[in-house]
Amino acid sequence: MFDEISAEARDSISKEVNIKRYNKGDYIFKSDDPASVMYIIKTGAMKITMNLSDGREQILYIYKNGDFVGGLNLLTSDRYVYNGIALIETTVLTINKAAFEKVLMNDNNFLKAMLVESYSRIRKSEDLIDRLSVINGDMKVAKGIIDLIKTHGSRSINGNWIVNPNLTRSEMGSFTGLARETLTRKLAYFQDIGLIKLLPKGGIEILNLDGLLALTI
């Protein structure tokens, strides 16, 4: 979002930026915290979670370097509904509300970029509802992997998609709306039938994208 802002705005906002570093598992913000700053991930990754009534954690979104959280909340002086937790060692830039309103709200290019990103967030919300509302376990896992391709996908040397979202199996189960044991079984089954290849450290290589997509219909 900051690529297109004016040089003057960029120079002004750079003087207001603070840098914070978080270890894996640290809370960056918690539910009901006042949305007093905008967070921009410089390096690392953040999971956005909510606590379900039965005590389980539900992962809603995964943000990586370049993504932001809180810009829209600052517009309404809102509070955070969800938790933001570092998935790995993460460096975050913060911009306070006063600087946001003084500099960024007066830059038309930034506001246009905010609108575009807001539209993208709506699409992600639609994907989330779709992923969590289906009952079929195979479909949940397939949709989860497809969603991860959109946000964390990269191409291997042979052209296959690879996702490496830094999620444990428990966290990926939470992301797909399944128990860890069920998620693990489904991933092993997908590997057995040639849809994916499980890689070290939680990575997944997609061997048959069409077959995976067929499970989401």
- Which pLDDT tens digit goes with each residue over 115-140? 888 888 888 888 888 777 877 899 99
Which among 153, 141, 119 has a CA at the least distance from the CA of 189? 141
Domain boundaries, the chain: 7-131, 134-214
Q: End-to-end CA distance of the chain, in Å? A: 33
Q: Give the containing element (helix H, strand E) for 172.
A: helix 169-176
Q: Model confidence over 164-192: pLDDT tens digits?
A: 888 888 999 989 988 899 999 999 999 99
Q: How far is CA 148 from CA 1, 127, 141, 167, in A?
A: 21, 11, 11, 11
Mean pLDDT of 49-53: 85
Given a contact cutoff of 8 angstroms between Cβ atoms, the answer to whether 69 and 38 are in contact is: yes
CATH class entry, domain 134-214: mainly alpha
Is 90 exceeded by the pLDDT of residue 70? no
Summarize pLDDT for 81-99 with one digit per residue, the tens.
899 999 999 999 998 888 8
Nearest CA to 65 among 94, 87, 90? 90
CA–CA separation, 176 and 71 (whole Å): 26
pLDDT value at position 99?
Answer: 85
Residue 28 pLDDT greater than 90, yes or no: yes
Given a cut of 90, whether residue 142 has pLDDT beyond it is yes
How sure is the predictor about 202, in pLDDT bands with cuts at 50, 70 and 90? confident
What does CATH list as the number for 7-131? 2.60.120.10
Q: Distance between CA atoms of 134 and 145, rounded to whole angstroms?
A: 14
